[in-house]
Structure 1
Amino acid sequence: MEKLTPKQVEELKEKHGDIFEVEIENKVCYLKKPTRKVLSAAATVGQKDPLKYNEIILANCWISGDEEIKTDDALFLGVSGVLSEIIEIKEATLKKL
């Protein structure tokens, strides 16, 4: 798959919010941030099968890309290493009053 043009990226951002490009061995895929519902489902399954956690995140955040990334074990494991980076966690503070 060829990389998206800046115009395509902007169109996807309007539709999905933040978009992430993952490139591995001349393969590329585009992902959106997971929703709370997706994270919950992945966390539930991930307690027993950590790889299934990554499969759920990848499947539900997938916008487009080289399908081999989903099916080739080496590519999937490579992408799995960066999936946690698309999960944005805001820093909170707690103050006892």
Structure 2
Amino acid sequence: MTKEIKNLEQQIKDWKEKHGGVFELPVDDKTCYLRIPGMPDYQRAFTAMQDSGNSAFGEVMLEVLWLDGDKEIRTDNDYFTPAKKEVMKFLRYDDPIITDLPNRQKEIRIGDAVTVIRVITKEDVTMAERKNPGDKPFVTQNALYDLVKISADPVFDDKKNAAVRFPLFQAMEKIQNEKVAQLKKL
């Protein structure tokens, strides 16, 4: 084993200890290494997307997750465009399982983690929206969850854990939209 490969293996091990997860992203003859994203990273990327369009999401994600690699992936469009497309795969998480409970409560299961919420009212949504006057991504959803949570496994307390937060928000959205509405022009 060459010294260069040994050094890279040690570097990856160090990154894993520090960041919890590392991804290798090869783009043709170039490669970069990215850390696992958390909710603050997504918040920053979605804010950039709101301000500057869809391309800004991938650009910010590459910027904030970047650990090391060939700079052409960030600077050369021939490399950046496919890298940006791959970074979008970070948004794929386990689907939540929603179970009806008595008293209009819902159990939300994400992997082995479970939380129970009560019915979400329009007053809850209004109060959560008031806690987000700057309309920052995910602030309203976090506030809403805090309002309706009855019980939860400890993993739900980590607001930076995207692998739990994204499916949780997806489940809450689904619960709020159980009834179907359709506007018809008469």
**TM-score for the superposition, normalised by structure 1:** 0.85
Matched letter for residue 91 of structure 1: D
Structure 2, unaligned runs of 5 or more: 102-186
1:76 and 2:80 aligned: yes
Question: Is contact 2:15–2:35 with CA below 8 Å preserved after alignment?
Answer: no
Partner of 1:18: 21
Deviation at 1:39, TM superposition (A): 0.4
1:28 and 2:31 aligned: yes
**What is the identity percentage for the equivalent residue pairs of Structure 1 and Structure 2?**
29
Partner of residue 60 from structure 1, selected from 60, 64, 87: 64
Sort the Cα spacing of 1:88 and 1:32 in 2 relative to 1 into closer, same or farther, 3 A. Answer: farther
Deviations 1:37-76 (A, max 9, x none): 1101211332451000101111000000111111101100
Partner of residue 96 from structure 1, selected from 89, 100, 113: 100
Partner of 1:44: 47
Higher relative contact order (CA 8 A, sep 6+): 1
Matched letter for residue 43 of structure 1: F
Deviation at 1:91, TM superposition (A): 2.7
Question: Is contact 1:22–1:30 with CA below 8 Å preserved after alignment?
Answer: yes
How many positions carry a matched residue from both structures? Answer: 96
Deviations 1:14-56 (A, max 9, x none): 1111100011121110001222011012113324510001011
Q: Which moved more, 1:82-91 or 1:17-26?
A: 82-91
CA distance in 2, matches of 1:28, 1:60: 16
Matched letter for residue 72 of structure 2: E
Matched letter for residue 90 of structure 1: D
**TM-score for the superposition, normalised by structure 2:** 0.47
Q: RMSD of aligned C-alpha atoms?
A: 1.9
1:29 is paired with a residue whose SS is strand
Sort the Cα spacing of 1:87 and 1:6 in 2 relative to 1 into closer, same or farther, 3 A. Answer: farther
Question: Is contact 1:33–1:87 with CA below 8 Å preserved after alignment?
Answer: no
